[in-house]
Structure 1
Amino acid sequence: MARDKERILVVDDSPTNIAILNVLLRDAYQVITAGNGTDALALAASEEPDLILLDIMMPGMDGYEICDRLKANPFTREIPVIFVTAMDQERQEAKGLALGAVDYIAKPVSPPIVLARVRNQLELKRQRDMLRRLAAVDGLTGIANRRAFEEDLDREWRRVVRLKQPVTLFLADIDHFRAYNEAYGHLAGDDCLRHLAQALTKALMRPSDLLARYSGEQFVGLLPDTDATGAAIVGERLLAAVRNLALPHSHSDVAPIVTISIGAAQCRPNAQTDRAQLFKLAGDALYAAKKAGRNQIRIFEMPESVSAL
């Protein structure tokens, strides 16, 4: 979900320093603060700031260690870090840059320098984010590609495990798509995929739901905080969305229009749950849906004993 303002995490053990930076930044940015390393690491992971301003000299965990831990965590390593410090030795600056910091700001801070360097780093981050988004989009359908889905799955999986929520993974195949391509041509097949991607995206509704083109005519989706009953409701909505497109398919033995089959796997994961087993279960459910006549959803639930392995 887009933010009204970019978010900056200020980390400093001095309330005075935090107050100064907050006054400088709060009009243009959303500012969150931490007074120690433990809180800083927790906020970086949960709040996903766009930039971190990090003091070096702090009791307990110093700025170097915080930066090192941020860069070691796959969920925080892309957040740019600017050190804000009274230390002015080249060796210390070189150490911070080697750990992954993008810039230094000297104390006492100069307001124009702080604002200029923050602005520059956020602009660079926006450019990197745009390139990352382009790399994450399927060129044909405009929705997420397989690589992006797997990255988003990592992040969302961690969240549902932490919150002990149910989750449903689904696979959707276009029924008799090879026959469709042979009958109508590959350009029409491409148009079909684009129409389905748009229809499925609209049918999912919730911002937290994930959808991607996984391969060829197959789509994959993740429904957080969704049990088998909820998955059945969403699945029927997806099936109807495709049927409502009314794309002609005279070479299908299912219906005179394009339809899909859906296989879904539901579980309440924990830290030991094997996602590969969930994918396999969704694949088994998809096979069952096709065997039962296609144009339908089948939902398999992962046994608690398997989820707890």
Structure 2
Amino acid sequence: MNSKPVIMIVDDEIANIEMIGAILEDDYEILFARSGEQAIGIAQCSQLDLILLDVVMQGMDGYETCRRIKLDPDLANVPVIFTTGLDSVECEIRGLSVGAIDYVTKPVQPVSLRCRVSNHVSLKRMRDQLANQALIDPLTGLGNRRMLEALLAEEMTRLARSREELSILLMDIDYFKQFNDMYGHLEGDRCIAAVAEALGAAMRRGGDMCVRYGGEEFACVLPRTGYDGAMHLAELLRSQVEALAIPHAGSSCAPVVTISIGVAVRRCAPDLRMKAWFETADRMLYDSKNEGRNQITGIQFDEA
């Protein structure tokens, strides 16, 4: 959040782009487009904080450009301010109805434009921060279940196109209720945070993700990872948690804190839902617990 906010100026007149850019360039990173089509293409591959969009343009006008931007889930939250020489109430209402957040008439007044842009960028970044906080578990700093479900849905759609493998790991801290009973909830929170740090540190590939699934339970998502790779990482996670050597006198399987893991691996396909992986991983986790805990049980269930 410390980098300059990114603004795209969309206008088919280069003089207007230069004028608005000169007003804002000290405080913002400026991108520009000279058509609606070009604007949408740039927006789809940029992290924009705001769009200044001319209404009257050759080809696709500003209203249609804004409408299409707002239909894109990845762009819908980017605020759009219309810039135009049209100053009728009807034009302003039409602009707001297609999703614009504000309306600036030409000739642009520099002080007014700076204030409007600053206000909307600040609000957008505040909303982004709140949204990110809603996806982060405050105790561990890992993503939470909501983040897992959102990102996994995208990952499964992408992997299904080429029928690539996806692995899910579900993990429980063994005998955690007994840990809390013996050492107290404050130590229980410290235990969860330490285990989370060890699990998160093992996620070394860009697409791998570890989240706090709930309570003392964690989940890992491993795109493009087959059975052998998933089981290898599961053993690494199990051994790293054990190596923390957190004393646990209430455990029946080890003198220190340990985890049990269930692993489910399958090739993605368009008709499969994420619950297929989680139900299978949950059964594997149940088997690990039945086998004495501090165990890993996995399955490749492509043929199931």
Q: What is the TM-score with the length of structure 2 in the denominator?
A: 0.82
C-alpha displacement at 1:257, in angstroms? 0.9
Residues 1:179 and 2:156 aligned together: no
Distance 1:173 1:46, change over 3 A: farther
CA RMSD, 1 decimal: 3.2
SS at match of 1:183: helix
Alignment of 1:8-157 (within 5 A): 8-22=7-21, 25=24, 28-157=27-156
Letter in 2 for 1:234: L
Q: Is the 8 A contact 2:36 2:62 kept in 1?
A: yes
In structure 2, how many angstroms separate the alpha carbons of the residues matched to 1:158 and 1:302? 19
* Equivalent residue pairs, number: 304
Q: Is the 8 A contact 1:204 1:234 kept in 2?
A: no
Distance 1:20 1:197, change over 3 A: same
Which residues of structure 2 form unaligned runs of 5+?
A: none
Which residues of structure 1 form unaligned runs of 5+?
A: none
Q: Is the 8 A contact 1:209 1:222 kept in 2?
A: yes
SS at match of 1:70: helix
In structure 2, how many angstroms separate the alpha carbons of the residues matched to 1:262 and 1:298? 6
Residue equivalent to 1:246: 245
Q: Is the 8 A contact 1:75 1:155 kept in 2?
A: no
Structure 1 segments of 4 or more deviating over 6 A? none
Deviations 1:108-165 (A, max 9, x none): 4444444433222211122222222333333433433222332333444455557876
Deviations 1:210-240 (A, max 9, x none): 3322222111232344343443343233223
Q: Is the 8 A contact 1:83 1:101 kept in 2?
A: yes
Residue equivalent to 2:222: 223
Deviations 1:17-51 (A, max 9, x none): 44555555555434444444444444434434222
Q: What is the TM-score with the length of structure 1 in the denominator?
A: 0.81
State percent identity of aligned pairs: 42
- Larger Rg, first or second structure (1 or 2): 2
Q: Is the 8 A contact 1:48 1:76 kept in 2?
A: no
In structure 1, how many angstroms separate the alpha carbons of the residues matched to 2:159 and 2:44? 15
Distance 1:161 1:100, change over 3 A: farther
Residue equivalent to 2:293: 294
Deviations 1:51-92 (A, max 9, x none): 222222334543223333333343322221222222221222
